[in-house]
């Protein structure tokens, strides 16, 4: 299963048994993604039956509402220019490309880390 949150892709890689506080057994889904800041792969777990999907973006704790340095501004401008030119797009469609560009820029020293 694949889910998207704020334009970032999360892939379910398995289930992990978990005993709740009330003693009942349940499963946690193991999710994998890559940090939009540094590109490092990370995993985390979430309840299998949880309806609301709001993961942290990185195990270091970039919360979902914070966005990434530079990406939010670039995406807003890009979507605005696309709309002016009659192109349909949203954050989900452009986020992976923006993340890749920012990672390359940071690797070359053109953007702040």
pLDDT in tens, 40-89: 788 888 888 776 776 655 544 444 444 455 667 777 788 888 888 888 87
pLDDT of residue 68: 52
pLDDT in tens, 30-54: 888 887 777 778 888 888 877 677 6
Alpha-carbon span 9 to 23, nearest angstrom: 33
Alpha-carbon span 22 to 99, nearest angstrom: 41
- Token readout for 74 is 């670039």
pLDDT of residue 62: 44
Query: Does 100 have pLDDT greater than 50?
Result: yes
pLDDT of residue 12: 92
pTM: 0.48
pLDDT of residue 71: 67
Query: Does 22 have pLDDT greater than 80?
Result: yes
Core vs surface per residue 38-65: b (16+ CB within 10 A) or e: eeeebeeebeeeeeeeebebbeeebeee
SS3 104: helix
pLDDT of residue 64: 43
SS3 4: strand
- Token readout for 85 is 């030119």
pLDDT of residue 60: 47
Mean pLDDT score across all residues of the chain: 76
Alpha-carbon span 71 to 74, nearest angstrom: 5
SS3 34: strand
């Amino acid at each position: 299963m694949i889910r998207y949150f704020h334009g970032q892709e999360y892939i379910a890689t398995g289930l992990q048994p978990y005993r709740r506080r009330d003693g009942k057994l349940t499963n946690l889904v193991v999710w994998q993604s890559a940090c939009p800041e540094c590109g490092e792969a990370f995993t985390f777990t979430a309840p299998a039956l949880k309806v609301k999907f709001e993961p942290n973006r990185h195990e270091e704790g970039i919360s979902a509402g914070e966005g990434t340095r530079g990406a939010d501004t670039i995406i807003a401008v890009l979507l605005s220019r696309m709309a002016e030119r009659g192109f349909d797009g949203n954050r989900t469609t452009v986020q992976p490309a923006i993340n890749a560009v920012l990672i390359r820029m940071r690797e070359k020293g053109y953007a702040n880390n």
